[in-house]
Amino acid sequence: MTTTVAPAFTDTPLEIGGRVFRSRLMVGTGKYKDNATMVRAHEASGAEVVTVAVRRVNLDRTKEDGILYHLDPSRVFLLANTAGCYTAEDAMRYARLAREAGFNEFVKLEVIGDQQTLLPDTTGLLEATRQLAKEGFKVMAYTNEDLITALRLQDAGAVAVMPLASPIGSGMGLVNPYHIRVIKSRLSVPVIVDAGVGTASDACLTMEQGVDGILMNTALAEAKDPVAMAHAMRLATEAGRAAFLAGRMPRREIAVPSSPTTGMLA
Amino acid sequence: MIAALPRLHAVTDDRVAAAPDLVAKATAMAAVAGQDLAVHLRSRALTGQAFVHTARALAAALHPYGSWLVINDRADVARAVAAQGVVTGRGGLVPADVRRVAPAAVVGRSVHDAAETRAAADADFLVAGAVFPTTSHPGATPAGLDVVRTAAATGHPVIAIGGLTAARTPEVLEAGAHGIAAIRALWDPVDVAAAVAGFLDALPTVDLVDVEINGEPRHARRGITLAELLGDLSLDARAVVVEHNRHIVRRDTLGTVRIADGDRIELVHFVGGG
């Protein structure tokens, strides 16, 4: 017997730069031990947006080493990044090359300022965002959890701002929930937390801050079982979102009994 | 793509393929002939594992010089070592099946008469012979220059084989051959480099320019378009974005932009990233 269950809650769709996305979880394609595992992890995550990097073709290899031999661009939304770029000029060059591949106008813009922490160079980031937005790009800007930079990126024309939970690939989780909440409360463009989540509770806690989505790569790729972790992250992202929409109970520093205090035996 | 087919083909037999100095001699030839040379690995005696090891060693030796490796019959081995070409003959895989196994390889067909030539229409190039009497097939009646003329009439590039020497090369070119193949005349001399140079003097060689591709110095055929360059590199234009002297080239104009000496070219694609 089948029963129809009404949805427990209603959510507005995630819309970025005029395009509606079906999942709030976005995933990367780096560092997987093999492409078959990556594809299965993507499926388990339910993600629609999949990030890719731009690199030189290896002239000495057979042609199957490009990621497009393993991804179906009709089933996923390819979001090219500018990872590895340390100047605005380099990042813009990579963004323009990515656009010429012909999939879309979106770019996950990274301008890195420091090799050890991979924290962004916000000056270069603002400069590149401004210029690329002028050229018609839909810029999703990877930044730190600083409100003022986030506001400036929005003013510069970013269609989404992507503050970090913690440094790229660190798996430290959400180190600064307060600042993420502040950014979300002040921006009108979507806020997608990018980088740093390590496990499902991190993703859930991040979504509970009210942000519009979350992007992760290493948490899946370096999990012992990436497919199972992708499933967990999907549930956690949905759980965190639902909990945010549900609105949590007030926090108290004293206990309040859940069972009646009357009718006790004498 | 096929316009880059080398003119000089050094073909091995069982004896040459098993010789300990095979790779050393191939390297010496490649150093002289570069992109004008193709080495054909042909051996019925080598087992699967030994065949792959030999092919891989040759591929590594030839690659720095831009010389080709062509594998006879074993399309699977050609794919495994990313050889540029595969040649099959009567009784071997037909070109369509070779392409299923090794889609990136240029496919040649060995032909000995008009009937075999007609049956090889879907090959990329033909190896036609034996033109002159040869010690590889003592007592056999050579097919003469007619086998080259018939093959060349199909429009395919033709490599003439059988008793070829530098002195006889002009007649086969006159008959329509694109280039020549030899076994003993190339592998037997002590100084293989001199033997190669002798043949090259008799052959029209590829006119090359120096360019930088992805930061590496490379040779490319003079005057070709970026689309042709991608073909020479066995790259799929749909999966690659081209930057030419710092200008991004739109995909639909790759066939109109020509390369020149000193050009700097970047070829990028999407890889895994976060």
CA distance B187 to B164: 13
Q: Report DSSP state, residue A33.
A: S
Distance of residue B218 Cα from the nearest chain A Cα, in angstroms: 11
Q: Which residue of A has its CA nearest to B265?
A: A56
Q: Which residue of B has its CA nearest to A101?
A: B241
| Chain B contact for A51 (CB, 8 A cutoff) | yes
Domains and CATH numbers, chain B: 2-202 (3.20.20.70), 208-268 (3.10.20.30)
Q: What is the pLDDT of residue B3?
A: 45
Q: Single out the catalytic residue among A33, A108, A138, A184.
A: A108
**Is residue A259 included in any domain, yes or no?**
no
**Is residue A266 included in any domain, yes or no?**
no
Q: Report DSSP state, residue B41.
A: E
Nearest of A50, A45, A49, A48 to residue A236 by alpha carbon: A45
CA distance A111 to A124: 6
Task: Give the A:B interface size as CB pairs under 8 Å.
Answer: 103
Helix, strand, coil percentages, rounded to 5, for chain B:
35, 25, 40
Nearest of B177, B175, B67 to residue B125 by alpha carbon: B177
Select from B104, B214, B271 the Cβ nearest to the Cβ of A53: B271
Backbone φ and ψ of A83, nearest 5°: -55, 145
Q: Which residues on chain A are in Cβ contact (under 8 Å) with B270? A: 52-54, 66-68, 78, 80, 98, 101
Number of domains in chain A: 1
**Is residue A254 included in any domain, yes or no?**
no
**Is residue A201 included in any domain, yes or no?**
yes
The answer to whether residues B235 and B266 touch, using CB atoms and an 8 Å cutoff, is: no
Per-residue pLDDT of chain A (266 residues; tens, 9 = 90+): 566 667 777 889 999 999 999 999 999 999 999 999 999 999 999 999 999 999 999 887 654 578 888 888 888 999 999 999 999 999 999 999 999 988 899 999 999 999 999 999 999 999 999 999 999 999 999 999 999 999 999 999 999 999 999 999 999 999 999 999 999 999 999 999 999 999 999 999 999 999 999 999 999 999 999 999 999 999 999 999 999 999 999 999 999 999 999 999 98
CA distance B267 to B216: 12
> The CATH number of the domain where A115 resides is what?
3.20.20.70
Lowest mean pLDDT among B20-29, B117-126, B227-236: B227-236
Is A53 in contact with B216 (Cβ distance < 8 A)?
no
Q: Report DSSP state, residue B85.
A: E
pLDDT band for B232, please (50, 70, 90 cuts): confident
CB-neighbour burial class of residue A210 (10 A; exposed 0-12, middle 13-18, buried 19+)? middle
Is A56 in contact with B248 (Cβ distance < 8 A)?
no
Q: What is the pLDDT of residue A62?
A: 53
Distance of residue B5 Cα from the nearest chain A Cα, in angstroms: 18
Q: At residue B97, what is the residue type?
A: D
| Chain A contact for B270 (CB, 8 A cutoff) | yes
Q: What is the CA radius of gyration of chain B?
A: 19
Structure tokens at B51: 């065949």
- Find the domain containing A163 and state its range: 14-57+65-246
Instruction: Give pLDDT tens digits for B81-129.
Output: 999 999 999 999 999 999 999 999 999 999 999 999 999 999 999 999 8
> Within a 10 A sphere around the Cβ of B251, how many other Cβ atoms?
17
CA distance B123 to A9: 63
Nearest of A56, A55, A61, A9 to residue A30 by alpha carbon: A55
A31 is catalytic: no
Q: Which residue of B has its CA nearest to A94?
A: B268
**Is residue A170 included in any domain, yes or no?**
yes
Lowest mean pLDDT among A109-118, A157-166, B168-177, B201-210: B201-210
The answer to whether residues A69 and A255 touch, using CB atoms and an 8 Å cutoff, is: no
**Is residue A138 included in any domain, yes or no?**
yes
Is A51 in contact with B243 (Cβ distance < 8 A)?
no
**Is residue A264 included in any domain, yes or no?**
no
pLDDT band for B134, please (50, 70, 90 cuts): confident
CA distance A157 to A139: 7
Select from B63, B233, B251 the Cβ nearest to the Cβ of A102: B251
Nearest of A217, A224, A162, A159 to residue A191 by alpha carbon: A162
pLDDT, mean of residues B146-160:
96
**Is residue A6 included in any domain, yes or no?**
no
The answer to whether residues B227 and B63 touch, using CB atoms and an 8 Å cutoff, is: no
Structure tokens at B173: 């070119």
Is A55 in contact with B82 (Cβ distance < 8 A)?
no
| Chain A contact for B235 (CB, 8 A cutoff) | yes
Distance of residue A148 Cα from the nearest chain B Cα, in angstroms: 25
